[in-house]
Structure 1
Amino acid sequence: MGEFDKALTDIANIRSQLAAGTLFRGFGPAVIAVTGGLALVAAVAQSAWPAVLADGPVRFVLCWIAVAVVAVALVGVEMLARSRRLHGGMADAMILAAVEQFLPAGVAGAAVTAAVLKYAADAVWILPGLWQILVALGLFASLRSLPRSIGLAGAWYLLAGIAVFILASGSRELSPWMMGVPFALGQGLMAVLLRTANGGDDGQPV
Structure 2
Amino acid sequence: MRDYEKALSDIADIRSKVAASTTFKGLGPAALGITGLMALAMGIGQSLFLTDPLDVPLMFFGGWVVIAVISVALIGAEMVVRSRREHGGLADSMILNAVHQFLPAGAAGAAICAIFLRFAPDNVWMLPGLWEMLVSLGLFAALPSLPRSVAIAGAWYFVSGCAVLMWAAGDESLSPLMMGIPFAVGQLLLAAIIYQSYGETDVS
- The two structures have a TM-score, normalised by structure 2, of 0.96
Asked if the contact 2:139–2:154 (Cα under 8 Å) also holds between the matched residues in 1, the reply is: yes
> Distance in 1 between the 2:184 and 2:61 partners?
17
Whichever residue aligns with residue 70 of structure 1, its letter is I
Q: Distance in 1 between matches of 2:47 and 2:151?
A: 31
Q: How does 1:60-75 map to 2 (within 5 A)?
A: 60-75=60-75
Shift of 1:25: 0.5
Where in structure 2 are there 5+ consecutive unaligned residues?
none
Matched, 1:165 2:162: no
Check whether the contact 2:113–2:127 (CA below 8 A) recurs between aligned residues. yes
- 3-state SS, counterpart of residue 127 of structure 1: helix
Consecutive unaligned residues of structure 1, counting only runs of 5 or more, are none
Correspondence for 2:113: 113
Q: Deviations over 1:55-89 (max 9, x none)?
A: 51121111111110011110000000110111111
- Take 2:89 and 2:61, find their aligned partners in 1: how far apart are those partners? 39
Q: CA deviation at 1:3?
A: 1.2
In structure 2, C-alpha distance between the alignment counterparts of 1:190 and 1:74, rounded to whole Å: 15
* CA–CA separation in structure 2 for the residues paired with 1:201 and 1:69: 29
* Structure 2 partner of 1:19: 19
What are the equivalent positions in structure 2 for 1:37-76 lying under 5 Å apart?
37-50=37-50, 56-76=56-76
1:23·1:146 contact (CA, 8 Å) conserved in 2?
A: yes
User: 1-side partners of 2:91 and 2:55: how far apart?
Assistant: 43
Contact 2:54/2:173, CA 8 A, preserved across alignment = no
Q: Percent identity?
A: 54
2:23–2:146: 8 Å Cα contact kept in structure 1?
A: yes
Pairing 1:30–2:30 present: yes
Give the Cα separation in 2 of the matches to 1:114 and 1:192. Answer: 32
Q: Which amino acid counterpart does residue 8 of structure 2 have in structure 1?
A: L
Which string of whole-angstrom CA distances, capped at 9 and with x for unpartnered residues, describes residues 96-151 of structure 1?
A: 00110111111111111111111000000000000000000000000010000000
Report the TM-score when normalising by structure 1.
0.95
| Correspondence list, 1:179-198, <5 A | 179-198=179-198
Shift of 1:200: 2.1
Give the aligned residue type for 2:88. Answer: G
Q: Is the 8 A contact 2:150 2:193 kept in 1?
A: yes
Residue pair 2:29, 2:203 contacting (<8 A) in 1 also = no
The answer on whether the counterparts of 1:30 and 1:201 sit within 8 Å (CA) in structure 2 is no
Q: Aligned residue for 2:133?
A: 133
Residue 95 of structure 2 corresponds to 95
For residues 65 and 79 of structure 1, the distance between their equivalents in structure 2, rounded to whole angstroms, comes to 20
2 CA distance for matches of 1:93 and 1:201? 24
Name the SS for the 2:144 alignment partner: coil
CA distance in 2, matches of 1:173, 1:59: 16
Across the aligned residues of Structure 1 and Structure 2, the Cα RMSD in angstroms comes to 1.6
Indicate conservation of the 8 Å contact 1:129/1:160, yes or no: yes
